[in-house]
Amino acid sequence: MIDETTASDVPDDSLREETAADAPEVAEQDHAAALEAEIEDLRRQLLYAQAETQNVRRRMEKDAADAKTYAATSFARDILSVADNLTRALSAIPPSLREQEALKPFVTGIEMTGKELETVFQRNGISRIQSIGAPLDPNRHQAMVELVSDEEPGTIIEEMQAGYMIKDRLLRPALVGVAKAPERPTVDREA
């Protein structure tokens, strides 16, 4: 009988020993690579958590600063009606009555109250929006009516109610009348 086994069919003990010796080394490298990947992932998660914490802290600081700066907004809106009523009271007194000796202390008291209110507004960062003669700014003005005028169209020519800002924010828009160009008569071309 002829032995038909080839050299490749014969187990090579030296090859087996080499592979067996490399196996623990390969396993260690795989384990080390897995640990390094896990460390890198944890490092990324830590950096993300630190960045998120810092963003939350900054947002809270900004919110606290805004709350402090604009805390009086609601109260200021309520007080604006007092300022409006003082202005109306002064404008309702005709010049002839202002000259009467009996009414002078009354008029002076209303004027002084109005000036004191303006001082308090200034101290708290509340300023009146200047409207008359300015172009309409939809961020500060609310157009209530268009009036025919020789002024540039879009120019404010009447203020119905004063507008106010608190620091850099709108507290109340000014209610205004805006100039519009006079209408040109239409020509009937068929006649």
Instruction: Please name the residue that has the structure tokens 């303006």.
Output: 118
37-50 in b/e burial notation, b at 16+ Cβ within 10 A?
eeeeeeeeeeeeee
Most confidently modeled of 2-11, 56-65, 179-188? 56-65
> Which of 6 and 72 is assigned the larger pLDDT?
72
**pTM to 2 decimals?**
0.62
DSSP helix/strand/coil, 70: coil
CA distances (Å), 190 to each of 44, 183, 184, 186, 187, in order?
Answer: 81, 21, 18, 12, 9
> Which of 27 and 123 is assigned the larger pLDDT?
123
Cβ neighbours of residue 170 under 8 Å, at least 6 residues apart?
139, 140, 163
Q: What is the pLDDT of residues 105-139, one digit of tens each?
A: 988 999 999 999 999 999 988 999 999 999 999 99
| Polymer length of the chain | 191
Q: What is the pLDDT of residues 9-26, one digit of tens each?
A: 545 555 455 555 566 777
Confidence of residue 182 (pLDDT cuts 50, 70, 90): confident
Q: Which two tokens stand for residue 154?
A: 């879009």
pLDDT for res 25 = 77
pLDDT for res 17 = 54
pLDDT for res 183 = 80
Most confidently modeled of 2-6, 20-24, 158-162? 158-162
User: Domain 73-180, what architecture?
Assistant: Roll (2.30)
How remote is the C-alpha of 133 from its chain's centroid? 28
Mean pLDDT computed over every residue of the chain = 85
Lowest mean pLDDT among 71-80, 131-140, 165-174: 71-80
Confidence of residue 175 (pLDDT cuts 50, 70, 90): very high
